[in-house]
Amino acid sequence: MEALKIIVFSVLAAVVYGILHDQVTAHVCVEYFTVAHPPVFATNSPFWLAVGWGIIATWWVGAILGLILTLSARCGAASKIAFCSLRPKIVLLMLISATMALAAGLLGALLQSSGLNVIGSWENEILATRHSRFAFAAWAHTASYLIGGIGGLILAIATLRKRFRQRFPR
């Protein structure tokens, strides 16, 4: 049951994070979803695009995080780590990801507005007046995946280390 709790919470945390993250980026630059993504939803509404893409783009990340954390917390002979111990760490990972996404988005927008092309070939697809906003969205999304992935691995390794330190104290 603990394993299921870890997996379900990880998926829910990722989806909630994804929807909230996409609410920001879709309202900053809806073109990130309407031009740079395939047309999955019959809407241009930033709200509904954020809900839809927030789910599609993150449920599987949460599932992978949940599986990795479950394996690191529950498998093997070492003492098990309970879901209640991992829950605040998963929330912290989401908060760190959000903070870094905001910082990366601001950096991307700043670099784009200073004259650097940080959006690549998308500059031909997006109106020039929206380039900085597009850079914000693109950089925020890239940072979210990068920080979430690295942070998830760090959390899994820290969980394993905790288990083995409990089993084999120095």
Rounded to two decimals, the pTM is: 0.92
In whole angstroms, how large is the CA radius of gyration of the chain? 19
pLDDT bucket at 169, cuts 50 / 70 / 90: low
In total, the chain counts a number of residues equal to 170
For residues 95 and 107, give the distance between their C-alpha atoms in angstroms, rounded to a whole number: 18
Report how far apart the first and last C-alpha atoms of the chain are (Å, whole number).
Answer: 31
Average of per-residue pLDDT values in the chain? 95
- % of residues, the chain, pLDDT over 90: 92
* Region for 23 from its dihedrals, namely left if φ exceeds 0, alpha if ψ lies in -120 to 50, beta otherwise: alpha
